[in-house]
Structure 1
Amino acid sequence: MKTRLNCPCGEYITGADEDELVEKVQAHLKAEHEGREYDREAILFMAS
């Protein structure tokens, strides 16, 4: 299970599980990187 992702902007995002991680990453993208959107598969591909 992947629960961590390091955004290239320097933000370190963690979740209790993959669902929470995807939710948090999508919220981060919306707030900090307007216009960038990744689906669940892409986020989990980049996560560890």
Structure 2
Amino acid sequence: MRIKTRLSCPCGAGITGSDEDDLVEKTRSHLADVHPGMNYSRDEILFIAY
């Protein structure tokens, strides 16, 4: 299985993590700061990550 470390948010932000845990943490932080009320599970975040 390939480790996913990048995600492109529909708002145009690019999020990069050092590993999947870091990517999920940074994505959740981005969502809280820029898109309040939008909550995604770890699996949902990794589904759209690459």
Which TM-score bucket, shorter chain as reference?
A: over 0.9
In structure 1, the gaps of 5 or more residues are: none
Q: Structure 1 vs Structure 2: percent identity of aligned residues? A: 58
Q: 4+ residue stretches of structure 1 with deviation over 4 A?
A: none
Task: Tell me the TM-score normalised to structure 2 length.
Answer: 0.95
Q: Matched residue pairs, number?
A: 48
Larger-Rg structure = 2
Structure 2 unpaired stretches of 5+:
none
Q: What CA distance in whole angstroms lies between the structure 2 residues aligned with 1:29 and 1:39?
A: 12
CA RMSD of aligned residues (A): 0.3
Q: Structure 1 length normalisation: TM-score? A: 0.99
